[in-house]
Amino acid sequence: MLQLQKHRSYLAVCCLILTSFLLSSCQKEEEAPPPRPKVRSQRSGTEQAAVKKAEPKIDYNKAIAVLETEKGTIEIDLLYDIAPKTVENFAKKVKGRRYNDAKFYRVEPELLIQAGAPVFQAEELPIEGSDRKHIRGTVAMAKEPGASVSSATDFYICLTELALDEEYSVFGKVIKGMSVADKIVQDDKITLATLRTGN
């Protein structure tokens, strides 16, 4: 009998110790702060600095579009003073590489050549009419006959003087490479379009 009482006492003490241990463990777990989520760093410090570096602003009053084609290079002086919205749109497309690999899909020998960027959605621009004549080297935005808006992507270069009215947005003039423009045939490509600031 005495041995049974000792055994029960021993079990009671063991249960008490186990209960105390479990309670203290739970308290420690409750006291521990939860883990904090962290944003994973996806770039090194130098890469982050490069991203933060702002692109140089283009002075549209002095901007030159450079079209490298399969036949050579054509340089276009952008006429911001007479067609600011059209120039900004064209420059944005060039900077966005929209004209890289674009085709001259329409060629009227000795009259005009026309190219366009791929169209992802209907893009139109208000017509910025002016009294500039469509002489050789004139660059303007195309439009549908009778339309009151211009295409925001398709442009043409005059190879000779054309009797077109002021309902077309003239936004540039070729300052170098007209002999290259004369050689363009249908489906020739603009391999690279870039912008630079003229003198």
Torsion angle (degrees, nearest 10) of CA 133, 135, 137, 142: 60
What confidence category does residue 6 fall into, taking pLDDT thresholds of 50, 70 and 90?
A: low
In angstroms, the CA 104 to CA 159 distance is 14
Q: Read off the pLDDT of each residue in 21-48 and give the average, rounded to a whole number.
A: 50
pLDDT of residue 97: 94
Taking domain 60-197, whether its CATH number is 3.40.50.10860 is answered by no
Per the CB < 8 A criterion, the answer to whether 74 and 193 are in contact is no
**125 strand-pairing partners:** 150
Domain ranges across the chain: 1-34, 60-197
36 has pLDDT over 50: no
Q: How far apart are CA 172 and CA 116, in angstroms?
A: 15
In Å, the largest CA–CA distance within the chain is: 126
How large is the C-alpha radius of gyration of the chain? Answer: 36
**Which pLDDT value is given to residue 41?**
43
* Nearest CA-CA partner of 168 in 114, 122, 96: 114
